[in-house]
Structure 1
Amino acid sequence: MKTSISLRLTCLFATLLIVIMLISNCFLRTSLFSSLENLMQKELIFRHSLMAKYISTQGSASHWSNVKDKIATLTEHEGRKVDYLVLSKDRKFNLGGEVADKINYDGLPEGFSTVHHQNESYPLYILVETLKPLGERPEVKFIVAIKSKPYYATLNEFTRSLVFISLAGLILVVMLSYFLARYGLRPVRKLSEQANCLAPGKQFQRLDCDTLPDELYSLAVSFNGVLERQEVAWKQLESFNANVAHELRTPLTNLIGQTQLGLSRPGASDELGELLESNLEELGRMASIVNDMLFLSHAQAGQHAVELSQVSLREETHKTCEYVEPSFLEKNINIDVIGDVQVMIDKRLFHRALANLLENSARYALAGSSVGVELSQQGNFTYIAVSNVGEPIEPQHLSRLFERFYRVDEARNLSSVHHGLGLAIVKAVALMHGGEAFARSENGVNTFGFTLRINAPDIASNRAILSASRVSVEAL
């Protein structure tokens, strides 16, 4: 269930306030109750001091009536809020009427205590002192009892006031918290409005981060980063679409033009055969582009290499060099293979990637130079690097050389021969083996290569990739 942040904050504030109020109210009530008990104890001590000495000096039964009259006078004077009681095993020395009769003589401890009556809702707070026998008077217990009802009434009134104030404060805090939360979340709403105003397809749109609080600044910066990466992806996609259209348009134009020319000249079967042969060549080129695109789409979708086998990369590299040897002989270029690594790979995919790198080196290396193939192991990866001496490559091109159809030569002078997917296939093969492709240009030497994970994970069989890869590497 969706809930607003303002409502969540309000509930959190309300919960926090309730907890704080419960703790503080319990503390205040306990503190007041303790103060009231202390007050009653002081009252008892004061009232006890008025009569204790007088009673302790009365030891004659004939004078005991004076004690009774004095206690009655004090009780009436106090408004019957305080009772003065004398308890004895000899009932003629008992004073205090019904209250005294309801108190158990033997169960009274010395000092302060409380006594509950069945007909009273509130207890009696009493102070007990045992007076030693004197003359005819036996040992007696002098009790001063104070009724706690007025004190408890004060405590109850204070409790009701606390509850009322707490509820009123809670309602006020909930209302203010909601409005304050709404006010505090205005930057979030403004950020949402900015995001809603972003028009699709419009470049260089960014969220305004300057006025945002710290909590939202990092979010807005991250979102702007997403927009920037999305722009780069859209540019690459637009460039890719344009490149695909350009690559497919040339053979299609040739096919259409040659076919129209053949149809406009009714003639010899030899010319028709040459025309069909030319068309077949162009159709083969288009089929190669389509197959390569299919292979790349599988690799981009996260497919992995299958049919892995333990091989010597040096041995497999020599096999690939024999396949591309004609391209190197044309420019009198030598191939030097350095190093060797034992690794589990898909041999067909490895041959395909290495052949593309070697063909690329033969195309751009200086005539009469050497191309080096270095095989090495670094950690859990095998590095395959193909280096040649040639024209330096600008840094802005290095990061894009493995994109589909990307060429440093924007004029595409060789597009009729090479359709620009060779290095993209190298990157795809590396990804399918858990590695990556790399390129660098330093001191007149251009190096292209890829890495392969040595301990390749077990991967489920994927026949679609193998069939797609075999289309373009059948000669290997």
Structure 2
Amino acid sequence: MRGSIAKRLALMFAMAVLLITAVSAVLLRCSLQQSLETQMHNELVLRHSVLDPLLSKYESPAVWVGVHQKLDSLTPTDERVRYWVLSDDSNYSYGGAMPDGQDRSRQPDGFSIMEVPEQHCPMVLLTKTIPAMGSRPELRFIVALDSTPFMATLSTFTETLVLTSALGVVLVALLGYWIARFGLGPVQRLSRQANSLPPGDSKQRLDTSALPHELLELAVSFNGALARQETAWCQLEGFNANVAHELRTPLTNLIGQTQVALAHERDLNELQDLLQSNLEELERMGNIVNDMLFLAGAESGQRATELSDVSLYEEASKTVEYLEPVLLDKQLTVVIEGDMRVRIDRRLFHRSLANLLQNAARYAAPDSTITVSLVSNGLQAEVSVSNAGEPIDSVHLEHLFERFYRADAARARSDAHHGLGLSIVRAVASMHGGRVFARSEAGLNTFGFSLTSESLG
């Protein structure tokens, strides 16, 4: 959902405060209500404790007039507190009929509520039974307390609580919005910095020195994306330069030979020779284009799909047999060591191993032995080709699998080879979830690739 982060944070702050305030307000109101009820009950208990002994000691109707006077004097003019004495003998009664018209002479002792028609709030009653004594019958003494002042206090408190809670929620929302905007300041600065990166300069990066921890990972990830983009652009520029360089020579040859052929009349044999030469150049260009398309697919994450369970020894033997004419020309012997069963793309495996063998045959000492090693290394299967030859400087080893890399100081290259053989080996290894490696030690130069456990049978 699109929208302002600051507004959403402010809304969440307000909702959180509203929830907390609502719960707190309910608890406070319930606490105050219980406290007010306790106060009313305590006042009723207090009045009973004062008047119950007085009523108990009056036994005759002659002295009951004093009870009337005492209760009249204790009844406020606003009748906030009222008294009733209920008895079967009218001489011992006080207070008249109950305002709600109910007969409470048989009501159990204890607290109760009485609704008064002309009042908004009820009266709280405390009823107690005074046992009979002498000629006086049993009495029901009721003390009633108007709850209006207490309920008014509760209502005022509730209104104040609601008002302050609403005001607090609004203030928290405004402050939360300001705090969120202030807290998101580094994000805005980071955004402005990203927008100010100059176009065309792939080496520019975001400054992460002053960023908070929460944004540091984001900025580092963005810088990582810029670094990967720089690498991709460098590879693309290198690809364009290499392709242009490699295609320039055959195109120049084709143009030059064609111009020379058109400058003079040629007989049929000369034209056939020209066409044969042009065909060779065109085939070379076609091979370069096909190889580059294959490498582009591998570098885009394409994986080997036509997998089958094979013996590496058997497949390597087929590849050696296919290249036997090339090996016989230099009187080279190939020895295959080890074996294992893996799930691979046969066609790609033959292509990569053939490139390694051709590379070894090209630079191996005459009458020497080329060794193909098939080794299981933990969760990986390693395929390597070793040949005796001139040592290769370590500076070049890590670059030999790059496209069109030419290390003439280490290896004299022929124009017949366009420098993609080892790059294809790396692509095949990548498509099988593996890697490539190269070593030059003890007079042996070793090139190879590995297959990860995903490819192992």
Report what 2:37 is aligned to. Answer: 37
CA distance in 2, matches of 1:270, 1:25: 107
Deviations 1:411-436 (A, max 9, x none): 9963621112212222333344x332
* Residue 440 (structure 1) aligned to one of 420, 438, 441: 438
Map of 1:246 onto structure 2: 245
Matches within 5 A, 1:8-407: 8-76=8-76, 79-99=78-98, 102-106=101-105, 108-117=107-116, 120-305=119-304, 308-378=307-377, 381-393=380-392, 397-407=396-406
Contact 2:105/2:140 (CA < 8 Å) preserved in 1?
Answer: no
1:344 CA displacement:
4.2
Question: Residues 212, 303 of structure 1: CA spacing in aligned structure 2 closer, same or farther, 3 A cutoff?
Answer: closer
C-alpha spacing 1:304/1:188, structure 2 compared with 1 (3 Å) = closer
Alignment check: 8 A CA contact 1:344 1:454 kept: no
SS at match of 1:63: helix
Which is worse superposed, 449-458 or 257-266? 449-458
Aligned CA distance change for structure 1 residues 93 and 375 (closer, same or farther; 3 Å): same
Question: What secondary structure sits across from 1:62 in the alignment?
Answer: helix
Cα distance, 1:65–1:395 mapped onto 2, change above 3 Å: farther
| Farther off after superposition, 316-325 or 198-207 | 316-325
Q: TM-score, normalised by structure 2?
A: 0.90
Deviates more, 1:122-131 or 1:169-178: 122-131
TM-superposed CA distance for 1:106, in Å, is: 4.8
Larger displacement relative to structure 2 (88-97 or 395-404): 395-404
**Which structure 2 segments of 5+ residues have no match?**
none
Separation in structure 2 between the aligned mates of residue 76 and residue 250 of structure 1, nearest angstrom: 121
Structure 1: which amino acid aligns with 2:2? K
Matches within 5 A, 1:461-476: none
Deviation string for 1:320-361 (max 9, x for gaps)?
223323443444433221012234444333222111010111
Q: Distance in 2 between matches of 1:411 and 1:89?
A: 130
Change (3 A) 1:96 1:399: farther
Distance 1:182-1:217 versus aligned 2 partners, 3 A rule: same
User: In the alignment, is the contact (CA less than 8 A) between 1:128 and 1:142 conserved in 2?
Assistant: yes
Summarize deviations over 1:123-154 as a string: whole Å, max 9, x none: 22222221111222101022221100111001
Mapped to 1, the partners of 2:184 and 2:454 lie a distance apart of: 51
2:39 counterpart letter in structure 1: L
Determine if contact 1:88/1:105 at 8 Å carries over to the other structure.
Answer: no
Aligned to 1:466: none
* Structure 1 residues 259 and 290: alpha-carbon distance in aligned structure 2, compared to 1, 3 A threshold: same
Distance verdict in 2 for CA 1:162–1:90, change over 3 Å: same
Q: Give the 3 Å change call, closer, same or farther, for CA 138–442 of structure 1 in structure 2.
A: farther
Q: Are the equivalent residues in 1 in contact too, given 2:291–2:420 (CA < 8 A)?
A: yes
Identity %: 51
Q: Secondary structure at the match of 2:128?
A: strand
Cα displacement string for residues 133-185 of structure 1 (whole angstroms, at most 9, x for unaligned residues): 12221010222211001110011011111111111111111111111110110
Provide closer, same or farther for how the CA distance between residues 110 and 415 of structure 1 changes in structure 2, counting only shifts above 3 A: farther
Gaps of 5+ in 1: 459-476
